[in-house]
Chains A and B, each alone.
Chain A
Amino acid sequence: AQSVTQLDSHVSVSEGTPVLLRCNYSSSYSPSLFWYVQHPNKGLQLLLKYTSAATLVKGINGFEAEFKKSETSFHLTKPSAHMSDAAEYFCVVTSGGFKTIFGAGTRLFVKA
């Protein structure tokens, strides 16, 4: 069985401060993990993915995530938030085949 838990439904940061969006997963197989972003009235866009290569994964727009097997975590970070980062972020796990499980999402607010 597999599951993914996003620990915060909402995160609010000030522009220029670090961003941390937390994700824990559970998987019976070696997982592949993804972070997607969804801006209002737009489709989902891939930020980054982990597929058993380097544990620190760099994505687009300055985001990165670290796969920690011992903690079953895949937290998303960015050193300095920008107003354009305000969106909903989804942690996604796939393993053992073709089923994809999305986390509940974390809405990121960025204050000026």
Chain B
Amino acid sequence: KAGVTQTPRYLIKTRGQQVTLSCSPISGHRSVSWYQQTPGQGLQFLFEYFSETQRNKGNFPGRFSGRQFSNSRSEMNVSTLELGDSALYLCASSLTSASGSLSYNEQFFGPGTRLTVL
């Protein structure tokens, strides 16, 4: 079974631009979560989607948004990029039910997208 894939793997943008990152979960996984990893802040939860609905979100500004498609693939968008948005963005998928949560299910992580903002 193929793992979680993320595209692109590396991205360089300039301040003020916007960016869209893509994540394809493991087949059959309906939950997709996004995380930002930086040396200073560590791993921080951005949001989680299940069946095309955002179930929960972390403490990030509205410039960070996402969506999930009917095939469970997910995209994350960051608008008006700032230098501080440079990070590794990780996507994770999980086999969880509509009434379930991330509490009991392992999350499978993709390799990440390394975003550099100049």
Q: Report A-chain residues with C-beta under 8 Å of the C-beta of B35.
A: 102
Shortest Cβ gap from A63 to chain B (Å): 15
Q: Report B-chain residues with C-beta under 8 Å of the C-beta of A101.
A: 45
How many residues belonging to A are interface residues under a CB distance threshold of 8 Å? 24
Q: Report A-chain residues with C-beta under 8 Å of the C-beta of B112.
A: 43
Say whether B55 contacts A90, CB under 8 Å: no
Q: Report B-chain residues with C-beta under 8 Å of the C-beta of A49.
A: 106
Q: Determine whether B75 belongs to the interface, using a CB cutoff of 8 Å to chain A.
A: no
Interface string of A24-63 (1 = CB under 8 A from B): 0000000110101000011111100101000000000000
**Known pairs A102-B42, A102-B44, A105-B43; A95 contacts B111 (CB<8 A):** no
Say whether B109 contacts A45, CB under 8 Å: yes
Q: For A51, give the chain B residue with the smallest CB separation.
A: B104
Bound Cα distance from A90 to B107, whole angstroms: 13
Shortest Cβ gap from A12 to chain B (Å): 19
Say whether B109 contacts A98, CB under 8 Å: no
Bound Cα distance from A45 to B112, whole angstroms: 13
Shortest Cβ gap from A95 to chain B (Å): 6
Q: For B31, give the chain A residue with the smallest CB separation.
A: A98
Not counting A43-B109, A98-B55, a sample of 19 additional A-B residue pairs whose C-beta atoms are within 8 angstroms of each other reads: A31-B103, A36-B109, A42-B111, A44-B92, A44-B109, A45-B109, A46-B107, A94-B102, A95-B103, A97-B56, A98-B48, A98-B101, A98-B102, A99-B58, A100-B45, A100-B107, A101-B45, A102-B35, A102-B42
Interfacial residues, chain B to chain A (CB-CB below 8 A): 3-4, 33, 35, 42-45, 48, 55-56, 58, 90, 92, 101-104, 106-112
26 contacts between A and B (CB under 8 A): A32-B103, A34-B106, A43-B4, A44-B90, A44-B92, A44-B107, A44-B109, A46-B106, A51-B103, A51-B104, A90-B43, A94-B103, A97-B103, A98-B48, A98-B55, A98-B56, A98-B101, A99-B56, A100-B33, A100-B102, A102-B35, A102-B42, A102-B43, A103-B42, A105-B42, A105-B43
